[in-house]
Amino acid sequence: MLPVKTLVGLYKKKDLEKLFNKKKIIIWGVGPIAREMFCCLSGHKIKVKYFIDDRIMEDGHTFLGKEVLNFNKIKELDLKEYFIIVAATEYKKQANLYLETQLNLKKNISYCNWLKIARPHAMINFVKNEGISYKKIYRKIKKELPFISKIEIWFSTNYDYKKINFNDFLIGDQSFLNSFQIKTSQLEIIRKLKSFKNSQIIFHIGDEVGIDKKILDYYDQILEELSKKETIFNNQNLKKNLNLFLYQSKILNEEKISKITKILKIKKITFWMCDPYIMPYDKVLNNLKKYNDIEKLKNIYNYYNFDIQLYLDLSLKSKNKPCLCQRVYPVINNDNTLMHCPLYEEPILNKNAMKSKLMKEINVRSKHTFCQGCQKYGLHRFDLKVLKN
């Protein structure tokens, strides 16, 4: 079995300064990854001059207070003075090809991909109500992983938002990005978070954790919210930080999906139509070990809106590729346990996350027997959208 290497990026500011070689920085992209890169670099006093968006034609666009350039503007620059960071997943290959063939730039001399810089971002999973202080977790992570760009905060579907102390999230670090993963059943959380200027809110319409009849109730809730005259989705400040994912499955009512899609377009809300993830992966891995016949697996997961055999065939061809989730680490539950992987419920690496050595835990991951089992069956590359790139 080929080894899977943890993606940890460059460790120190001096490594980045050597890579950039005193050049001005341009970030290609205006999405969540570009925002992460900007926060990460700004937090270490590395200035970004411009952003690039190949979809715009006219001048005057800005992102995070910086001018956004189109292709025509890029060609007007003296590119010997600039270093470009490609902060994208879906069009990474196209961007690399354009930079090399059209602008004659060399990789790691005049440009690089964001994974060369990015540290694994951390995840805090709120699953129970007893909790520990978010600020304490934040300080620990920043101290041990100084080049981390984002902490992602998940609220489980059954979490009681009324018991959340939202003041605990006001860390006062505007160069650092909080990403709040929200489900449709928790609209009140978004109402409370919408004033957080340094936050990115990822709103799931649907429930990727388990596709069952409860998801239909979520769609009813979102339809009700969208139909209101005064809705949280009309808030312009909120829209700037909002990433909306519309999940689908075979059991969903097509009429409801069509209605939601139409309302989102009318309100000019950017959203993505997505296949639901199989989460957690524990059950998939157990079934793969138990059944050799793919037809039995198909029967187990026939309510998902994708071809599980196609997923497995593609992912098994990528055993030599890095794990997609090894840049999402660590996962600290609010019962103070440290989880091995965001896609699995087990194993727990440490019962006391606040006393663990995070870099030590990161280094353990690629050699862990659990990682090897996941890799053997191809689950470490189980995301079609990323596999395409």
Contact 161, 189 (CB under 8 A): yes
Say yes or no to pLDDT of 307 above 80.
Answer: no
- Could you tell me the pLDDT band of residue 197, with boundaries at 50, 70 and 90? low
Q: What is the pLDDT of residue 131?
A: 59
- Report how many helices (DSSP H) and strands (DSSP E) the chain contains, helices first: 15, 15
Q: How confident is the model at residue 99 (pLDDT cuts 50, 70, 90)?
A: very high
pTM comes to 0.78
Residue-wise pLDDT tens digits, 122-142: 888 876 656 577 888 888 888
| Bridge partner list, 28 | 52, 86
Q: Which of 4-8, 183-187, 311-315 is predicted most confidently?
A: 311-315
Q: Residues 242, 268, 238, CA angle at the centre, nearest 5°?
A: 30
User: Which DSSP state fits 175?
Assistant: T
Question: Omega before 322 cis (within 30°)?
Answer: no
CATH annotation of 13-116: 3.40.50.720
Task: Put the strands of the sheet holding 150-155 in their side by side order.
Answer: 271-274, 242-247, 199-205, 177-183, 150-155, 121-126, 328-333, 338-339, 348-350
Domain boundaries, the chain: 13-116, 151-273, 277-326+366-389
For residue 189, which of 220, 236, 225 has the smallest C-alpha distance? 225
Bridge partners of 69, per DSSP, are 52
Q: What is the mean pLDDT of the segment spanning 206-218? A: 56
3-state helix, strand, coil in the chain (%, to 5): 40, 20, 40
Confidence of residue 209 (pLDDT cuts 50, 70, 90): very low
Which of 62-76, 95-109, 189-203, 263-277 is predicted with the least confidence, judged by mean pLDDT? Answer: 189-203
pLDDT bin (cut points 50, 70, 90) of residue 201 is confident
